[in-house]
Amino acid sequence: MLVRTPTQMSGYYGADESPIDAEGWPHTGDLGRLDERVLIAVPSVIEAAVIGVPHADLGEEVMAVVVSDAALTPEALQAGLRAEVASFAVPSRWKIQRERLPINNTGKIDKAEVKAQVLQEIKYTN
């Protein structure tokens, strides 16, 4: 997680290196995540994956890839999530599709492949 506040630390006591990058963002070393069970509990969501995608200012932002056979909108998904999680935990980017997500040999969603597909799409649309 990267965080920045008006009363930001300058580093960790006794640490040789500062966790603050050149742009002023402290790297906490913590990982943040959205429990995808909350996302797939939204009506009409069949399956979903949450991944990090590049962001020009932040370095990375959270994107949800959602499979649905209904006409869902990002706004409807955001509203469904905001009722269950804090607003900062709601993804800022969305991809809604009808095609099932790729799975790995153990039958779980292959997030690496999902991310690779999304990054390929972003590459061709930017």
pLDDT in tens, 5-57: 667 777 778 878 877 777 777 776 665 555 678 888 888 899 999 999 988 88
Beta 47-55 vs 59-67: how paired, if at all?
antiparallel
Residue 32: both structure tokens together = 């943040």
pLDDT in tens, 49-88: 999 998 888 888 889 999 998 889 999 899 888 888 877 7
Separation between Cα atoms, residue 82 and residue 108, nearest integer Å: 26
pTM of the model: 0.69
pLDDT for 43: 85
pLDDT for 5: 66
Show Cβ contacts of residue 37 under 8 Å, excluding neighbours closer than 6 positions: none
